[in-house]
Structure 1
Amino acid sequence: MAAVVILGNGDGHAGRRALTPDEADRLAITRFRNYQAGGRAMTISVPGTAGTLVISGSIDYRGKRGYGVVHGTGRDTSSDGLIEWTSTTVLVRPMPDAPATAPAAPPASGWYGRPLRTAGSSLDSSLAIALGLGSDRPDNAELLPQNGAAWTGRAEVRGHQADVMTGPDARTKAGTSGTVRYWIGADGTMYRVQATVASEPQPVVIDFDTHRYVPVRPVPGTTPTR
């Protein structure tokens, strides 16, 4: 039996081995768990040469829409403000004095819209990855190991013990340039995701349940995605 290691730094690197049937089953249902929950609260840390962008908010995995507040870390406040996005569109509302949490109801004005870029933007790649972490059906557990999924260790995430697994090769998925790592609990709950993006050497980190989930409301004047 492979050794189980709980690492003090929480990165889950303990070696690589094939998934057990139970681990494959949990990896197969982890995105479906997000869909079943309806939505999840999350914090997305987006790397960049000018510093990190931190998005604190929620994603509605049934409505396929995310919403939150953006703060820069180690950079100026020019990118701070509110953000709402779908798989095709990004709406931003600049706010030099952005609040710690996004208001439950998005403001009615001050928004600027643009298409979500499929390449060349670590922010947009991160938004696309986060939105893709929900699915209305489980993945095929038997195919996951054949496509490169593996177990790499154990770690604790905010008091939860999790197995760290790499997903299937993600180079064909929007914004990613390599495998995606999942921190998954005993019941298949997703606690953290780390993914490399083509535009940055450092990975995107998405942490779940970092704050209370607030249902996502469309920006006034936009059409809900269903």
Structure 2
Amino acid sequence: MAAATVFLVAGGGSGPSGPRALTSDEANRLAIARFRNYEAHGRAVTITVPGTAGGLIVTGSVDYRGKLGYGVVHGTGRGTSSDGLIEWTATSVFVHPMANAPARAPASPPRSGWYRRPLQSTGSALDSSLAIALRLGSDRPDNSQLLPQNGAAWWGRDQVGGHRVDVMTGPSSRDRPDTAGSVRYWIGSDGTMYRVRVSVASESQPVVIDFDTQKYAPVKPVPGVRSAR
């Protein structure tokens, strides 16, 4: 099923309670969570990326129909050498270094000063985080019956940004049967995704993706970037 592209990503961390089997309502909400992001066109995100030499925070937006992300990067507990603007697709990362990066990315990206590199599939916590963020949208719901059959579970209740949510873990992927429970989702009563926590192989701490942390801004391609639409 289409969900395997994101559910296969390894993750972890303790939950608020549980686990127990999903009810049919919970399975339905988890199944439509990625579709809700696509249905919304795009979502505002804050991506917290771990790092042994200091972390990174990406604040921006992901266009789930264009399969394109854009934002500003700030280091935490490290220097400013990684600070600047960033735009990414499933295969490429475009960076615009800035010594004094703004708190929010400008609505219209600069037309010059960008550097392109391939998105790394392994070995980079930042690139893994960007790829995960893009895969949290789908143009169709996932199969609600297969999710619990493959290990998805309920862990408890929580609040995120004033929203009451259920915390659920995703199923194993076809090619990695030991990954059930490795990705954690904070899902609202209508299936809206408010937080995702997932580990990456290169770091001991998980990546955290929070949604609606600021107002969504439409993503405009920078020179050399082509939207999937």
- Same fold per superposition (TM over 0.5): yes
2:25 is matched with which residue: 19, 22, 26?
22
Partner of 1:64: 67
Amino acid at match of 2:200: V
Asked if the contact 1:48/1:200 (under 8 Å) is kept, the reply is yes
Amino acid at match of 2:26: E
Alignment of 1:1-226 (within 5 A): 12-169=15-172, 179-226=182-229
CA distance in 2, matches of 1:201, 1:87: 24
- CA offsets 1:95-141 (integer angstroms, 9 cap, x no match): 01000000001100111101111011100000000000000000000
Amino acid at match of 1:190: M
Q: Percent identity?
A: 72
CA distance in 1, matches of 2:117, 2:198: 24
- CA offsets 1:171-225 (integer angstroms, 9 cap, x no match): 959xx99711000000000000000111101000000000000000000343222
What is the number of equivalent residue pairs in this alignment? 214
CA distance in 2, matches of 1:155, 1:22: 17
- CA offsets 1:132-162 (integer angstroms, 9 cap, x no match): 0000000000000111100011100011000
Q: Once superposed, which parts of structure 1, at least 4 consecutive aligned residues long, lie more than 2 Å away?
A: 169-173, 220-226
Asked if the contact 1:144/1:167 (under 8 Å) is kept, the reply is yes
CA distance in 2, matches of 1:163, 1:182: 8
Distance 1:48 1:178, change over 3 A: farther
Asked if the contact 1:178/1:195 (under 8 Å) is kept, the reply is no
Higher relative contact order, chain-length normalized (CA < 8 Å, sep 6+): 2
Aligned-residue offset at 1:170: 5.4
- CA offsets 1:52-78 (integer angstroms, 9 cap, x no match): 100000000000000000001111100
Task: Give structure 2 stretches of 5+ with no counterpart.
Answer: 1-13
Asked if the contact 2:152/2:181 (under 8 Å) is kept, the reply is no
Asked if the contact 1:107/1:219 (under 8 Å) is kept, the reply is yes
Describe the SS at the equivalent of 2:20: coil
Describe the SS at the equivalent of 1:41: strand
CA distance in 1, matches of 2:105, 2:174: 32
CA distance in 2, matches of 1:60, 1:122: 21
